[in-house]
Structure 1
Amino acid sequence: MTEKSSHFKLIQVFPEGQGEAEKVARLWPRRRVAEGRKSVEEGYIIRLINMGKTFRTDSGELVALDDINLDIREGAVQGIIGLSGAGKSTLVRCINYLEIPTSGKVLFEGRSLGEMSRKEVREARRRMGMIFQQFNLLEQRNLLRNVTFPLEIAGVPKREAKERAEELLQLVGLSERSGNYPSQLSGGQKQRVAIARALATRPKVLLCDEATSALDPKTTEQILSLLRRINEELKVTIIVITHQMSVIEAICDEVAIIDHSHIAESGPVSEIFHAPRTEIGRRLILGEGNRNLDFANGRKLRIVFDGRKAREPVISDLVLSCKIPVNILFANTRQVEDEAVGQMIVELPDSGEEAEKVCAYLRSKGIPFEEVK
C-alpha cells in the first residue's frame, strides 16, 4: 500500500447530508441532555439507540442494521459476534461514523455524533482507534514512522511524536525493530504495529474489526493477550468484532450476538455461554465445526460444567447411578473469563421416564442443562 492511498484511507471525509436530522434533533433538547447524562452517570462510553443502516442498491434497499440498541461500558472489552453477512462490520463503522446511520443515534461520551460539527466528529474519531484484519501499514515507512503517521496528521511536534511511537513500540514488544520495514515482519508483528499506531492518539476506545482472523492460533492468542493487557493497563475500552466464539471467550467481558441485522441477544460472556436464549447463540457457542449437528431427531440436552465439575466424570457417574445409557454427540472444555468451563450435547433415551430420570439426576447435582432442538 502506498503512503498516498493509506493517507486517503486514514483521513476520512465526513459525509454530507445530515442537516435535516440535526434540525429535527434540536426539537427535543431535553431528551438529548437526558440521554447524554444517562451515558455518563451509568458509565457508558458508547450507546447505540434504535440505530439502523440501510444501503441503496440496484436491486433495491438493503437493510444492514435494524433497531440496534447496545450500551458499552467504559473500560470494558465488548464483543460483537455474528456469522458472515450479519452486519457486524457495518455496525463498527457506524460507531465511529465512517458509515452514517440511516436512523437512530450513536452517543460517544454522552454526545450524539449526529449532532456534532464535522470538526467535532474528527476529534471524536481520534479518540476511537481502529485495527483491521488487513494491517494497512505503509510499506515505504519503517515501524517507527508508521506509528508516528497519525500524529503527523494531527500536527503533533516531531520529537513528541517520536517519543510516543517509541513508547508504544515498547508496549507491543517491538522496540528493537523500530527501524525495520513491514516487509520484514510476520503477520502477528504487523498487527502489533497496527495496534501501536491505533493507540498513538491516546484513544478512549479501540475498535478491532476481525483483527485476528488472518492469524494462526498461537499468534491469535498472543494478540488477544496483548489487547487484554492494553485494556487493563491503559484503561482503553475495546470493541472486538469477530465471527469466532473462541475470541469472545478469551478476551471479552460482554458480548452482543448479531443475526440478520438485529442483535439477537447480549449480556456477560459467562451468562450467554451458560444459558444462550437464541438458536444463533447456541450455534455460535457450539463452534464452527459443530453447527450442523442434527437436533431434529430425538431429545437432546446441552449440559454445562463449571470450574471443578468441568474435570469430573459427570456422565460416567450419571450412567452408573441411573443405569441408563447416554449417547454423547459432542463435548469440549474451554476457558471462559479465566475459568475452565465444559459443555456437552447428549442424546436422551426414547423412554420419557428414563429421560426424566436423567434430568432429575442433573438437577440434584446442580448441573445446568437445557434441551436443544
Structure 2
Amino acid sequence: MRRALLFIALCGLLAVACSGATPASSPTPAATTDIKRSKLDIAYSGFVDQDVHHVTSKKALEAALEAVKAEVRAAGGKDAVDTPAFQDTDEPQLADFNKFAQVVGQLASSNTQLSANRIADAAITGMIRASPDCHTYYVNNSGQVRTSSGKIPTGTGAMIPAQGTSLGGPDQAGLTGKMLTGGVAYITWHEFAIDGTYRITDMVKAMLDKALAQGAKAWLFDLRGNLGGNGADLMASWFLNGEPTLSVVVKTGNAGTATANKDVRLPAAYQLPIAVILNDRGGSAPEVLSASLKENKRATIVGKQSIGCLGATSPTHMTDNSELSVTVQEFTGAVTGTKYNNNGIAPDIAADDQSAVDVATKLLLDKVAAGSRPP
C-alpha cells in the first residue's frame, strides 16, 4: 500500500517566516491498461491446472504471448518486448502470470488500436493451442469458437447407397437405413441425439428390429460425419458381453476402466458380423462406439483414420459470457492400451470415401458366406 507522507512546517515556532506554500498532494497512480487481466488469470489457471496433456506454465504463457504479438503485428503495431522466463511446470504459477500480464500490458499500452477483448481473445486462443485437443476450445463473448487442434477434416459425410430397400428415415438425427443385397443392413445417423422424448438408442434399436424382420445377416454402420452425443456406451454393450472397453486417463493417471453392460446385451439373433465406416469427419461418440467394438474384435473398421476425439472436457463459464473448455480426460483402449485420443482409430481395412460402402459390404458378405458369427 502506498502511503503519502505530508510534511507540515509549523509557522510561528521558528524564527524564520513561513513561505505559505500549499502542501503537496499524494501522487496519482498511473492508469493501468486494460488487458482483461482477471479473465486471462482464470483461463491460464484453469488450463494449466486441468489439462490432461500436462501443458506447462512456460509453454502456455509463451504461446499466449506469441499470439498477442502476432495480433499486434496484424494490426500494424509494434511487438518489441522480451519474453520473460517462465517455469517449466504443469501447475499454475502466480509469479509467471504476473510477468506475463506485465508484458502484455506493455504491448497494450503501446498499441491502443487493439481492444482489451481482442488482446484477451488472442492470448487465450494462443494458450490453448499449446496443447491441442478437439475437446479444448474457447468461445469468446461474441460467440466465436476458437479451437485448439487446428485439424481440418477432409473426408465426406455418410454416403447412403442408392440401391437397396429402405428401412426408414431420415429422422431428426439423420437416422436412415437400407437393406442391401445379401442381407447387409446399412444404417447411418449424424448425431447421437437424446432430446426430450427422442432417444437415438431407441430409434437405432427399432431399426435393428425392422432389419432382422427383413432377414438381416450383417450390420453396416456408416458413422462418417457423425457429430457425437450420448448413447455410444449403451450401443457398444448391445454387442459385447461385459468385456472391458476403454480406460479413462486424467492428469494424475489412470482413473478406471469402463466395461460393457452385460444386462443390455442383445439376444443371439442380433449378434451378427459388424463393420463400421469411419473417416476424419465427425468424432467423439462414434469413435467411442467404434473403439469399444474394435478393442474386443467385435467389429471391423473400414475407411480412413478417424479424427481422434476420445475424451471429456470441463467448461469454465466466465462473467462476460465467454467459455473455456479444457480436456480433462482421454480414453485409451482397455484391452490393447492404444492411445486413441488425438491419434484417431486406424481402419482395419483402408478405403476411400467413394468405395467404403462397397468394401465394407463385400467384407460382410464374405463373413456371412463363411458362416462367421460372433460369440
TM-score normalised to structure 2 length: 0.22
Larger proportion of strand: 1
- Normalising by structure 1, report the TM-score: 0.22
Q: Computing the radius of gyration over CA atoms, which structure comes out larger, 1 or 2?
A: 2
1 or 2, which has the higher helix percentage? 1
